Amino acid sequence: MTDNTDIYYDDDADSTVLDDRTVAVLGYGSQGHAHAQNLDDSGVDVVVGLRETSSSREAAESDGLDVATPRNAAEQADVVSVLVPDTVQPDVYDEIRDVVTEGDTLQFAHGFNIHYGQIDPEDGINVTMVAPKSPGHLVRRNYEHNEGTPGLLAVYRDATGDAHDIGLAYAKAIGCTRAGVIETSFQEETESDLFGEQAVLCGGVTSLVKTGYETLVDNGYSREMAYFECLNELKLIVDLMYEGGNSEMWDSVSDTAEYGGLTRGDRVVDDHARERMEEVLEEVQDGTFAREWISENQAGRPSYKQLRAAEKNHDIEDVGEDLRALFSWGEE
């Protein structure tokens, strides 16, 4: 941890900051349902903003929450938490722009649209981010178990002088300060998040798995063995890394595996891969990826659909589906 990184816990947050404020949660998907329910259970006045045609309205109402249209919800609120997908946030903000007024707080869980200028709030509005580092269902589950989910806190604009306090109180109300909340910026969160997804977590890992699988199968090994060695066992390794870092993983595998990994891993993910990672990061930093993704959505997602179909049709998906059906862990 760098010396200038601040981490906040429950005792650092003043819950009373939200006592006289209403929070509108726009969206009731993965993050939206968790934030809304946790806020409500923490005693915060919450209204969920959903379109009249939204399939989530019934779920939110059955969970005991007040539901209104996004515009009506935002009009009632002092804090507006925008938790709809990144791609529709600009349109939603256009709907509520004139009812989010001076002194209000616009809250996000990801900095994409603020950082890349797709949403530009008026000067008198606070702009904050509270980003749990976990899928929404775990944010909710951890809260219900009196546990916490680590999160990030950023203030893009402090128009009222207490935006940081509002963000921290919000983080406490959804359970993040139970585990710890790290101070960051919209730029750092957005760029590191996109890079991590593209180069490692989603793009890098799946490409490595598929390439390893293809290498074994192309050299005559069975599809089933290739699946187990390159995909199934990955969870075991990642679990060890999650629990105690790389050192925990090295201490837990065999000496043969450790020596092989230490001497061969950098030959696969070598300086060429590092150069490609630098390129990916640069495209995130200079807005190339953001412009590409925005254009892709405006065009109806033709490349996205094609790439997604190709991914689903890869041979590793067929063999994986067959194997998971045969073993008891496939039913968990």
What is the signed CA dihedral for 302, 206, 114, 141, rounded to 10 degrees? 120
Rounded CA separation 162/175 (Å): 20
Q: Is the pLDDT of residue 332 over 50?
A: no
- CB neighbours of residue 310 within 10 Å: 9
**Location of structure tokens 């059955």:** 62
Q: In terms of Cα–Cα distance, which of 80, 89, 81 is closest to 113?
A: 89
**Tens digit of pLDDT for each residue in 181-235?**
999 999 999 999 999 999 999 999 999 999 999 999 999 999 999 999 999 999 9
Rounded CA separation 35/142 (Å): 12
Q: How confident is the model at residue 330, as a pLDDT?
A: 53
Q: Which distant-in-sequence residues (6+ apart) come within 8 Å of 138 by Cβ?
A: 149
Q: In terms of Cα–Cα distance, which of 287, 292, 255, 104 is closest to 191?
A: 287
Catalytic site residue from 110, 145, 272, 314: 110
SS3 116: coil
**Tens digit of pLDDT for each residue in 298-314?**
999 999 999 999 999 99
Mean pLDDT of the residues in the chain: 95
Rounded CA separation 127/108 (Å): 8
**Tens digit of pLDDT for each residue in 145-183?**
999 999 999 999 999 999 999 999 999 999 999 999 999
Determine whether 110 is an active site residue.
yes
SS3 154: strand
26 DSSP assignment = E
